[in-house]
Structures are given as structure tokens and as C-alpha cells.
Structure 1
């Protein structure tokens, strides 16, 4: 029996930017020191991060698993494999011209040969041992399949956002425009069942021996002073809501239908896109 028979919950989020993108001064999180270049610089920055009382409290009450190469076994309930998909076996990481990059290193892969083999071996062994849930964590969207035949389907992929980062191509500054953009993404991507183009947020995964539920929590505004509560170096944002909930049944490699029960409080759901 795992966790006393109670469901196990993971919060899955990206919060790598302590300074919350360009809002550092506004929310009292300006970083100290210069651009990181030496071991002293990194130690100084880490010390500043760890001075945050909220971060200290979070480490006290919950286990943290960061996205670097590692594996975790939690009884027969869960096998978790973490992949590094940003720098592992990447000789060049800052060339944004993908055609040029392909010409320089034609056989360059996202995770590298070793990481491609390792999770496959891990997943196979996990299945042989009868583990209920097999989860791979990574920082890039990598799955694709043929929706007509089902070929290539190995599981369900939940891709979240950075909690404090800018919205990138979705950052239209207008709710209607952002929703329109996410709607187009869902309409034009056969793999994508739901897209959130306006709110930053994070996923909470709750699992037991039967279903796995994934809830996306949207944060209304990470830079609005009215929604930020700053105490010393602490940054608390209570202005959020559960915008969509998804279910995966044990033993299945797809979302339970109707997806998100046919309704989401924000974003674009494929069943609602014409």
C-alpha cells in the first residue's frame, strides 16, 4: 500500500526565473550580482534563492524532483523517469536557425542516444514488474502519433507553461487575441486536445491504482500588483483557479472521454473548436 492508500499528488511546474521574467523590481525580486560566470556567482545566486522563506517552507513539507537525469520508484504505484532535454549531448544550444543547426550537426537529437535507450529499457522493466503508472518528465514536448491509425501512441502528454515566464508567441496582451491564437493551435494540431494561450500556470497530477487526474491551475496575472503579495523576498500569488481537468484510466494510453468532461474554464478544447 502506497501513501497509506491515499492518492498521491504531484505539482508539476516550471519556476526557473526567481525574478519572474521582467517583473523583478516590481515584485521585489531583483537578483543580486552580475551575469553568472563563475562558481562564486552561482553560489551567490543560489544563496539568494534559498533565502526565500516560501521556498524554504516548500522544501520542508514536500519532496522536490528537478528535471535532470534520474529515476524514482514508488512501490508498484509509480515509476518516474526524468530526462534532460535542453543540453544533454547538444554541442550547440544557442543557434535559433534550425536549418543552419541541422546543417552543422545533421544527426543531432533532442535527448541523445543514451537517453533514448535508457527510458525505453526502464519502461519495459516497469511494465514487466506490474507497476501501474509509468511517467516520464522532461522540459520539451516530444510526443507525436498518427491519430488515424493510433500508430506511435505510447501515452498521454501534459505540457504546461512557465509560471512566471512571459507568454512568448501567446503574449498578445489581449484576452480575445490570445484565445484566438490558442484556438488556431488546437485546430491545426491533430495531437493537441487543449491549449491555453493566455494564463500562465501549473499542473497537479493526482493518482491511485485506477485513475490519474491532471488539473491545470491558471494564474490570472503574475505581474499585476493587485494580485501579488510581497513579504520581504517572498512572492505569493493567490489569484488563480482550476481551469481544466483531465483523466487517464490505468492501463490506457489516452485521455478519458469526453476530454476534460467536455468543458474547460479557459483555453481552447478540441471538442469545442470548429
Structure 2
């Protein structure tokens, strides 16, 4: 085992405080402290083998050893000094106007290189961090500090940098406390303006760009979309609309992407999968170059509260972060029942799996705890100056009724009365839209996991999307119309395909005109997967996909564009006058590359509540426009 030594600092900081500075030890939920690691117990474990415990104390003079514990040298622990590996680079997230979270993973070198699979549990790892205004990391850091980590949190480190300026770019890095020359890669992050900033001053007067992703399955391909966005767009924001990881197994051996372990059920399983996903070069780089916000699955809560923090990016947890087709009491293969869960292939009940997933997600992602008034919910509202309100919905876990979990498909086809969310979340959502208009925000972007617009697929409907929850959709559309709430943009994931639609009541040919867009209530942009296969056939070629798209845009009245072949993402570029959605397609995900192209561009003008005509300027580089099908028909 490599050497250890007692580390001395000039500042008097308690060892427990250094544990508490690492937010990964905390419970993911303010109101549920029982899920936190007991830092008192970990602290006691660290000091129980201190030198005073194993050596004669006569030779020590406490007054001359300024340690973590002041002059009380008897409590000074050993600190790991055998070298650290920052195995998963760095990441940042949850930026407010004056603070941001910073993340890394610092693994003892002997563990990382495999020479010692289990570290001495009594030895903490100390990591320092600094954040600067300059890319050269010159001058005095704006904020700095140290924190402990250990095997208890998978050697993850999550700290909050404070005292930052609004709307400002920053550079940061971590280092080994015992060897400051051993550092992590340098990360880039930023803050945004406060909620009262005039719309034309947000992002210092430049366009604000959000990059929107969903559904990244490791064994299906390389995460080139993240790298393309980080290298080849000006995205300020990364939004992930669900399925950041997948709980399932699958054979990716032919492209070198075989997943480790089993179907996820325990804390070890979820940690291992997050670890493996975060080895993808493009995903590592995307986390290194921009801040993210991520939220996780929620249980039933009584809370109703609007969170008015400024954020720079957002992500929703869909269903595969725990298990497939989640609802409020289970998934397709693990449900909480009175007869137990021995039938579950995962070997775990849903609640057990969910808590394990949340714990690992909290450790591995640069996220804050849920606000005390939020409890376990993820639906909340973020105000980005007067330019934008970003409303994040949970259409998966929070009070969602039983969905199609495969064994009940025939039954759910008859159950259109199901609720995608119940009264408290729905009322909160409606009120958030109303308040957003009242406060003078120009745009309302609603981030959520599943396609909102009705999609008639040859008489079949996806009951796992809003087509299974038609009452909720009807009330949302009625609220937009009756409240005269304009500039609402819904962004969606999960479908593994690209869609662009005007928002209108399904089959409404009286008040909405599909050709001109008049009568539209807003717009939906739904994006394809980063890697997960097309619902019309994994690997389906563009020509075959376009044949299907021609039918879909013809029979779905408000659907303006369909593209079913390419994997990728889209961006929203926002200013007070226009919102522009640019879709990007990756040419090949079977190996790491940045080979992609812009497949379509759509513009929405302030106050129009529709996609500008001609849609996409009348031309797209992939997929099928409704206007082209209409022109062919005439």
C-alpha cells in the first residue's frame, strides 16, 4: 500500500467540515435526511487510527501542529497521499446568478490502476478546487476550497462555488491536496443573469442557445451528438429530456459498447452504469465545457411551490434512469405490490430501485438537493431574466397513473381517462404559465419527456406519451387559449424521432389552419435520440424512413415535419424577437466522430404562436415537410 501521511493546513478546518463540504454525502432531498451519509460516523472512522492512537503521545507538542483540528493533534487523521486519478474529468451544473456546482471524481491511484481493489476505509481523500475568471487560470481565484471524499460516495466530489458575478463565464479545476501539481482537466462553466434582467440584456445581449438531448443508450452507439454540440455549436445550455442512462442490458459488442453488469437494481449497479457511460469522450467533453442541470425521479409529494432560481441548463430524468415505462408505483418489470416483488427480473421492488438510482445519480451528477418545499418532485420553474421561463415537468413519476407496461396494452388502449399528472402538478403548471405571462417573460419553454402532439400512426397511438392522457392535454391547450398565453414552446424527447408541430387541439380544422398556422396556440419541437434506435427500425435508412414520414405528416393535421432515421439533437436559439430550432443529424454513431449536419431549421416569431411559413424556409436536408406532401398531392 502506498504511503500515507498526516496533512497539515494553516487554516483551522475540521475534518467533518471537509466531509460536509462535499455535497455528494448529503441526502438528495432536504426533507429526507435519512438518505444522507452519516459524516459523523465517517469522521470517526477516519480518526480512529490516528497517530496518537498508535504511537506514544509523549513526543508530540499539540501547540505546534496546526491541523484540520487546530492544536488537537490527537485527532488528526491520516490523509491519502499515494496519488489521485481524476478518472471522469470534471463537470458543473445548477448555476444560479452568483453560484454554481462543480464536480469531479478523485480515485486513489492504487484503486484506479487496479493494484488495490479496496482502499483503506479509514483514510479520507482530500481534494482542493479553484475557480477563475480567465482561461489561463491566472490571478487570484474567485473562490477556492477543499473537501474530503471516500469510497462511501464512489470517490465523487461535489462543491458549490459562490460569490460569482451574474452572466459570467468561469474556468475551474481540482487538485490533490497533498500534491497541488496533480490536477484535473480544466472545466468551463458560467452563471446567468438574475430573473429581473431585461430580455434584451440576458446573456449580455447575445442570443441564448439551449442544446436539447434525450435517450443516450450506451450499447446502441457512441454519444457523438454531445461532442458535436460542444465542439460545433455555440450552445450556452445543455438540456437533457430523459434517459441519460439505461437500466437494461444489450449487446453492443460489435461496436465495442458492451455494457457492464446486469439490469440495474442496487446502488452498485447504478454507480457502475453511470461510471461506464461517463467514459464516453463526447459526454465527458460536453460536461467539461458547459454547466448542466439534472433532476431525478420523484415520488408522490404534497408540495406545490414555484422555484425561481436562474439556471443555465436543465435535464429531466425520464424512465430508463430507473427502469422502463415508469409510473408512480412501478415500471414494466418491477412494481410495489402486496405480494412482494420476487417476480421482478431485477430482483428488486420499484421503490428500492428508485432510491438506489437517486443516490447514485446524486453522487455522479452536478445537481443540488431538491428544494425543501419541492420534497421529491422534479417539476419546477426557472426564470432566466425576462427573456425566458423554463418550466420542467415530470410526466413520468409524479402521480402518473398506470401506463402501458406491455402486459396490459389492450387494457390501456381503452383507458384515455388516465392522468399524466394529478391536480397539484397540473394546477401548478397552469399557474406557472399564467405567472410567466404576468411577469413579462417573452418566452415560455416547457421541458418534458414525452411527445405532446397527437400522433396518429395508422390508427395506433403511443399511450406512453400524451396520447394516453388526453384529458390533461386538452386542459393545457384550453388554458393557453383562454388565458391568451403566447410564445409557449414545448420541447420533448423519448420518441427516438424528430417532430415539429404547431400546438393545436387534435383534428381542429375549424380554429386552426395547418397550411398557414393561423389559430396555433404555440409550437412543439421534439427531438430524436442521441443513440437509441428509431421506433420504425433501428438503423432504418433515410429513404425508407421518409416513406413513413410522408404518411405521418399527411394524416396528422398539425404535424409539420417528421424525420425518423438520424440520431442527433437540436438547439433552441432565443432572443426577444425570435426562437430558432436547428436540428442536427449524426452521420454515423458506430465509432467516435463529429460527422454531422444541420437537417432542418425552424423559426418562431414573437407573438405568432406557430412555425413561420414557409415551414423551414420550404427546404430540409432530412425528413419530410407537410408542405412538400401537400404540393405533391396538388
- TM-score bracket relative to the smaller structure: 0.7 to 0.9
* Structure 1: runs of 5+ lacking an equivalent: 230-236
**8 Å Cα contact 1:247-1:255 kept in structure 2:** yes
SS in 2 for 1:179: helix
Match of 2:277 among 43, 49, 57: 49
* Cα distance in structure 1, aligned partners of 2:564 and 2:413: 29
* Cα distance in structure 2, aligned partners of 1:90 and 1:38: 24
- After TM superposition, list the pairs within 5 Å mapping 1:1-274 onto structure 2: 1-20=201-220, 24-64=252-292, 65-67=314-316, 68-96=378-406, 97-101=408-412, 107-143=417-453, 144-145=504-505, 146-150=508-512, 153-169=520-536, 171=538, 173-223=540-590, 228-229=591-592, 237-273=593-629, 274=633
* Cα distance in structure 2, aligned partners of 1:189 and 1:152: 16
**8 Å Cα contact 2:403-2:412 kept in structure 1:** no
Aligned pair count? 262
SS in 1 for 2:602: strand
- TM superposition shift of 1:35: 1.2
- TM superposition shift of 1:39: 1.9
**8 Å Cα contact 1:170-1:182 kept in structure 2:** no
* Cα distance in structure 2, aligned partners of 1:111 and 1:159: 20
TM-score (norm 1): 0.86
Give deviations 1:91-117, integer Å, cap 9, x for gaps: 5345234441366x7742123333322
Greater Rg by CA: 2
* Structure 2: runs of 5+ lacking an equivalent: 1-200, 222-249, 293-313, 317-377, 454-503, 513-517
SS in 2 for 1:89: coil
Give deviations 1:215-256, integer Å, cap 9, x for gaps: 111122323xxxx22xxxxxxx32211011000011221111
CA spacing shift, 1:170–1:249, aligned 2, 3 Å: farther
* Cα distance in structure 1, aligned partners of 2:251 and 2:606: 41
* Cα distance in structure 1, aligned partners of 2:435 and 2:542: 46
* Cα distance in structure 2, aligned partners of 1:2 and 1:175: 39
**Relative contact order, CA 8 A, sep 6+: which one is greater?**
1
CA spacing shift, 1:253–1:200, aligned 2, 3 Å: same
* Cα distance in structure 2, aligned partners of 1:137 and 1:8: 16
- TM superposition shift of 1:142: 1.5
Give deviations 1:6-63, integer Å, cap 9, x for gaps: 0010111114313326663233332222211112211222222334443333223212
Give 1:233's aligned residue: none
C-alpha RMSD of the superposition = 2.3
* Cα distance in structure 2, aligned partners of 1:34 and 1:17: 15
CA spacing shift, 1:39–1:93, aligned 2, 3 Å: farther
